[in-house]
Structure 1
Amino acid sequence: MAVDLRKLILALALLGAFLPFANTLHASYQVQRQQLMDSTLEGNLAYATKLAKSTDDFIQSAQLQLEYTAQLLVGQMGDAEKLGTEAARLRLMSKSFNSIVIFDDTGKVLATSPETLQLQGRILASAAVKESIRSRRPLISKPYLSATGNFIVLMVSPIRDPQGGFLGAIGGAIHLQKENILDRLLGQHFYHDGSYLFVVDGEGRIIYHPDGNRIGKVIRGNRAVDEVTHGGSGTASVVNSKGIPMLAGYAPVAATGWGVIAQRPRDVTLAPLTSLMRTVFFKTLPLAAVTVLLLWWCARVIARPLHMLADGARTMDQPETTQNIRSVRSWYFESRELKKAMLLGIGLFQKSITKLREDVNTDPLTGLGNRRHLQARLQELQERAMPFALVSLDIDHFKQVNDTWGHDVGDLVLKQLAMHMQDVSRVDDAPCRVGGEEFLLLLPGASVASAAQVAERLRQQVERASMAPVGQVTVSLGVAGWPESGQDVAAVFKRADEMLYAAKRGGRNRVEFSASPA
């Protein structure tokens, strides 16, 4: 007596009660995961905001130091010794700058600290110096390579006489690739769990980074950097230069347009949760394993006959299918009745399926693929996103052949042309007849240029052949490709037709092709 399938399904559904538990476990993980990530993002944002404020305070303090020193230098521009003394005092007392330079209104260096810079008497030609002379106002430069070979940021304050005349300027340089104030201000916040922070200027160029080799590099395609360089603050999940997913908080430095980005590896953030979920998993694993094994065994026993019958249904056009279905052990009622029905109909189906497939996809005159076959191949190529080329061709003056020799001879010419198309085709190519004397050759994976070579080979082969009793017959061909000739497949067909018409207008018996959209 066959077992009732509905009872088996009901028993299997009762065993499936463990699925809500798995769903609850998964949902709990997702919620806690998001909470951890949100907490880290918010912490990094607060951290970046704090450091951006600290950096902003330093910049303002450094500017005030320069402005104060600039006031002291009024009336001393001709005394090189005093200028040098003031430059050294500012550098050594403030510790804000790696070097100090004082220059006049022509950019000529009057004094430096340290003196080892050897710039005394030279004319500075950097864009920062020229801009400070032109604007005659305080400025903070973009990072640039100085005359001494240092990658620096220059802060400049003008020196004015009591009447407001411009005498020159004093500049303080931060050497980005050496120990500098940013290292002291930001370096102490470096973590050992992979977390770190870095600073970029308004163009995304790194001006501080724990890895000194990264300084001066321009970062592209990083959401946090893109937004902070436009004055924005917030959080983002990004991928760093080493391909590590990071959770970043970012904030701008108001005085300079710089941006501070603090970030932590996502995996480090989620490590405690991963450990917790692993513990829970191993605690429940024994019972879950027993349940899964029982479910698997029941499902396998129940599904095996249906699975084998389904395999037979998918291969009903194969000769061995009948024997395979007979060997199925249908031990319950539903599968046994299904087996009987399949054996009853499979004989007739196998006889008709082969002829039906040929009739559906084949042109009865030439044996080439028809429009339905062409559409099926096109759909397959589109699903796989595989480029293809299309050759559109027809027989030159074919109407004269029919009018002179009759339609029977015309059909013979069409058949011979089909043979030539098959000769030049690869295994995966699809030569098709789509109209009276209109043919298409679909070339998967081919470029327009290579398809044009195939088209030319076909044209020459047809031209050399003698098609009795007509004699010489020629063809005109147009070539286009997807996506080279257009993103839309219909546009590629249209482009191939346009190239065919161009070949006709150009004198026939020729190939025209286009590798660009109309």
Structure 2
Amino acid sequence: MVKIIRRWKLDLKQLILLLVSAGIALAVYSALMASYRVHERAFIKDTLDANQAYAKKLATVTELFLQSLNSQLRVSAGHIAIHFDDSHAIDVELARLLTQTNSFDSLVVINAQRKIISAQPSSLALKGLTVDPSLSLPIELQQPHILDPFVSPAGNLLVSPTFPIFSSDGTYLGFIAGGIYLQGDTILNQLLGTHHASEHSYVYVVDKNKRLIYHKDNNRVGEHIQGNVAINAVLSGQSGAVEALNSQGVDMLAGFAPVSTTGWGIISQRALTSIVAELDLTHTNVLYSTLPFALAIFVVTLCAGFLIARPLTQLAQNVSSLSPGNLRCIDETPAWYFEAENLKSAILNSSELLGQEIRELEEDRKMDPLTKLNNRLAMQLWLDNVKSMHYQFSVMALDVDHFKSINDEFGHAVGDEVLCALAGVMKKNARSHDFVCRSGGEEFLIFMPFVDANRAFSIAERLRIAISEHAMPLSRPVTVSIGIACWPAHSKSIDETLKMADKALYQAKNKGRNQTCQAQLTPHAANHDVARHAV
């Protein structure tokens, strides 16, 4: 007797259960992971922008504070000059300035021989001392100056703005110096520590010698910092944002801006780990919010699968009772196609619901939020397609003339309205297959496939005139300057062609604005046969 060994196999209901479970889990996972990556890049960019904006704001506040100190010292210097030989009168003036303004921690008057003739508060006991030659730069300059941080004779680490004192006949008498302590609860620390861009960000300030003059950890004031990318950039006069390691080896998102009058640098930064933690918390909440919907989809899909499987199960049960002559109806039954098609539809439906948000985010990444034109990402994708298909095109580089003066005179809100109106004129005058994008600020690019240089010039002139005649939301007309280049007529490189269009734009600017200039053919490009690029 032959023993029949039956191997265990999945039945149709178990297979549907596994496929539905795996499909929905993978769909949810892929959607969440894609969303996580998109949000991670957006969070980092927003944090860098916010830190840069805050550093600029704080640099401006610091500039205004130093200007206020200079004004206070100028007034006192005028009073002291009248009574320079009266030590008591000088003491009275310094005491007045120290108590009435609350801007300085100490004040001294130093004559032209580097001798301290008055000091407040009097408890410092500095009167009669001669200052170190390294602190005599204000005597040499004989003009307002802010001394680099130094340790005073009283042992305090401070920064000191100074103002010269001249007699009525113009004779240089010395200078008045205000001391602002860098450690402890001082006026400068209150100014820099009062505002916070966010609870996770903090600010520190360095002087031009890379020494900390303000930090949330007061014990680090006076420390020299080396190898910090943000500090190197801000002390070279740059303003921007960067992701870099700080001196403690922590990955930071830092925005920075210089204080031009002193050579200081202000850095606002946030640890990258706090961004990741916040992002993890956000997506954990998203996951918890998604699970009920995913569970509902799972139940509906599973029930539908069981309903689909029921007639197939009954058909399988009836197979054993069929006679050999009646197998044709079973053979012609599309059982597997029917099952697979319905299962695929359920999974695709669930994937479509969960992936809709990702597709919308992807579309938003390709659009400029202000003008609703294409942005640089969309432009790069379009150029990649053009390059692969070898479509020749002409490109117009447009820039709004005197746009900064529009913002300065009418405000940034009106400036934004002008950009939107300008975008509307460009879209109205563009052909359906032209590609219009905002490349940055008040600059735009228009790509015109299969348009040569002469025709592009005519189109550009019509557009320029249409813009100048268009009613803008301000009391004067708005004009643009335009530069034109063609690919591959001007260069075999698309990047070089764009640079040539930009160069032609600035040529139009230099010629007086409100005009169009064409890029000049290079010798190599002039002999290049562009006909082989046409489709």
TM-score by length of 1: 0.50
Structure index of larger Rg: 1
Q: Structure 2-normalised TM-score?
A: 0.48
